[in-house]
């Protein structure tokens, strides 16, 4: 029996993260403050520890992973690389399909890869508490776990409607010692004002971010942590791609194409950045971000400066955006409902180093169910976007009658998303296109920036 699951020993957990910035054809544009000028490190010191701020703009290609972070990662890493042979057989494709499985982490996704690093650096800096926001709960779970491992208290502002609808994600955070607060809350100025306007407010991710940042900025012992979008988060996620490269080498293979779901960009950065140097050196490899057709940031958005949050509290980042006030429809891949994208991913897409494609909701669930029935693992709806793209690629290879090596990230399991599968089986899901009018409206909403 040949091995379809390739494990690495813990000693093979990467010793360094790969920083893509030195290898980018165009360096990323600076973050801008409210005055339109690049913000300095000082502006970030109120909410981030020095090591994170340094990583955000570092020009070092390799950044050492502290040993306590590697030891924390070792609870679940290296993550397996799996040859999806049963899926290949079901598709009757000559393609070889591999997936890097990140759902085996305690929190069930790739998110803890950055959470443990951020918790470590904050603890090192003498910080006692972290705040963050969470929607569906993946990131809040991950930071609760990480805080527990490094002795930090963690307060999570959870979008009120999710707090009510996803009680089990909340329980998970509490099991790891996190304090979960429905947002808007009476603990912050932003929350109190929102509750005054609407005592029955169901909250939003933008509001939860405002609360978490406000609390972190106003307390010396407290910092803020973000689960995607920012450069340091993508940096921490590169352990995914670094491991996958080693594992594919063991399998004697190399991908023709790599897929990852794309919301804020942490999956894309995580698996794809380590392959970029090969591509720059002339290797023929396609790197494809997969996003929902209803929230098609890369494939339809403007490349422009915009705010990272919905109310304009964050610095402005140059990125593909559907407009910071765009409210994505209520699709079940909550992690992909983001109006913008990582500045790094955006720049690389703009420079045609990365590609992007969008897929519809129903087709992603079809792919998720086929994957469940062949490979066993029930994927998170976010992950099913990459599966859909991989299946389509494998079917195209069959059509063309040629071999092809496909790699994708299975970023998380769907154990907390079963109600979405219910709705799929009940025929209640809808496909949704992004309306062209919305794009024109988005242009209007973009902040005015010189140059």
- Compute the least distance from the CB of residue 248 to a copy of itself, in Å: 17
Q: Does 377 bind a copy of itself (CB under 8 A)?
A: yes
Residue 330, C-beta contacts closer than 8 angstroms, at least 6 positions apart:
none
User: CA separation (Å) from 276 to 20, 46, 82, 252, 353?
Assistant: 8, 33, 22, 19, 8
Q: Which of 412, 337, 409, 408 is nearest to 379 (CA)?
A: 412
> CA–CA separation, 134 vs 377, rounded Å?
25
Smallest distance, a copy of itself to C-beta of residue 10, A? 5
The residue range among 126-134, 143-151, 291-299, 386-394 that interacts with a copy of itself, by the rule CB under 8 A, is 143-151
For the chain, the C-alpha Rg in angstroms (whole number) is 21
- Which listed residue (145, 230, 356, 394) binds a copy of itself by CB under 8 A? 145
Query: Counting contacts by CB under 8 A, is residue 165 touching a copy of itself?
Result: no
SS percent in the chain: helix, strand, coil, step 5 = 45, 20, 40
Selection from 139, 311, 295 nearest residue 224 by Cα: 139
Q: Is cis: bond before 415, omega within 30 of 0?
A: no
> Shortest approach of a copy of itself to residue 1 CB, angstroms?
5
- Binding segment for a copy of itself (CB under 8 A), chosen from 145-153, 188-196, 288-296, 320-328, is 145-153
Residue from 22, 38, 174, 402 binding a copy of itself (CB under 8 A):
174
Is 151 among the residues that bind a copy of itself (CB under 8 A)? Answer: no
Dig out the tokens for 437 from the structure: 């009018």
- CB distance 365 to 333 below 8 Å: no
Q: Are 259 and 407 in contact (CB under 8 A)?
A: yes
Total residues at the site for a copy of itself (CB under 8 A)? 46
Measure the CA–CA gap between 256 and 244, rounded to whole angstroms. Answer: 14
Contact positions with a copy of itself (CB under 8 A) in 71-110: 71, 74-76, 86, 104-106, 108
Nearer to a copy of itself, 1 or 281 (CB): 1
Question: Site mask, a copy of itself, residues 350-369, x = CB under 8 A?
Answer: -------------------x
Which part of the chain contacts a copy of itself (CB under 8 A), choosing from 169-177, 230-238, 277-285, 298-306? 169-177
DSSP 8-state assignment for residue 429 = -
What does the binding site for a copy of itself look like in residue numbers (CB under 8 A)?
A: 1-5, 7, 9-11, 13, 67, 70-71, 74-76, 86, 104-106, 108, 145, 148-149, 167-168, 171-172, 174-177, 369, 372-373, 375-378, 415-416, 418-419, 421-422, 425
């Amino acid at each position: 029996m040949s091995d379809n699951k390739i494990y690495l020993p813990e000693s093979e957990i990467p010793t360094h993260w790969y920083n893509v910035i030195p290898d980018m054809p165009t360096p990323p544009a600076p973050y801008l403050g409210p005055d339109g000028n690049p913000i300095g490190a000082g502006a970030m010191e109120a909410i981030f520890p020095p090591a994170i701020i340094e990583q955000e703009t570092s020009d070092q290609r390799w950044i050492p992973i502290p040993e306590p972070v590697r030891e924390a990662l070792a609870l679940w890493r290296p993550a397996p690389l799996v040859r999806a042979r049963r899926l290949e057989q079901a598709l009757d494709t000559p393609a070889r399909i591999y997936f890097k499985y990140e759902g085996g982490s305690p929190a069930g996704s790739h998110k803890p890869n950055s959470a443990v690093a951020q918790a470590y650096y904050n603890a090192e800096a003498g910080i006692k508490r972290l705040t963050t926001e969470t929607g569906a709960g993946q990131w809040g779970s991950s930071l609760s776990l990480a805080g527990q491992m490094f002795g930090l208290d963690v307060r999570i502002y959870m979008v009120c409607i999710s707090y009510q609808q996803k009680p089990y994600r909340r329980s998970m955070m509490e099991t790891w010692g996190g304090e979960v607060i429905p947002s808007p809350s009476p603990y912050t100025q932003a929350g109190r004002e929102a509750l005054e306007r609407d005592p029955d407010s169901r909250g939003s991710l933008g509001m939860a971010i405002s609360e978490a940042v406000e609390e972190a900025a106003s307390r010396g012992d407290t910092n803020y942590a973000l689960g995607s979008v920012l450069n340091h988060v993508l940096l921490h996620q590169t352990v995914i791609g670094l491991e996958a490269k080693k594992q594919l080498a063991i399998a004697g293979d190399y991908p023709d194409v790599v897929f990852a779901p794309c919301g804020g960009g942490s999956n894309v950065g995580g698996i794809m950045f380590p392959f970029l140097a090969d591509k720059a050196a002339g290797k023929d490899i396609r790197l494809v971000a997969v996003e929902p057709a209803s929230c098609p940031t890369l494939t339809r958005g403007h490349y422009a400066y915009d705010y990272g949050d919905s109310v304009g509290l964050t610095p402005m980042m140059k990125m593909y955006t559907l407009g910071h006030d765009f409210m994505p429809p209520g699709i079940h891949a909550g992690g992909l409902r983001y109006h913008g994208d990582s500045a790094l991913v955006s720049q690389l897409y703009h420079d045609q180093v990365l590609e992007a494609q969008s897929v519809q909701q129903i087709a992603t669930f079809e792919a998720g169910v086929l994957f469940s029935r062949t490979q066993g693992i029930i994927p998170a709806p976010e992950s099913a976007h990459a599966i859909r793209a991989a299946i389509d690629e494998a079917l195209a290879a069959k059509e063309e009658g040629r071999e092809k090596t496909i790699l994708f990230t299975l970023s998380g399991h769907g154990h907390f998303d079963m109600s979405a599968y219910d709705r799929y089986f009940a025929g209640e899901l809808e496909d949704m296109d992004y309306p062209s009018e919305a794009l024109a409206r988005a242009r209007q909403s973009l902040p005015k920036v010189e140059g």
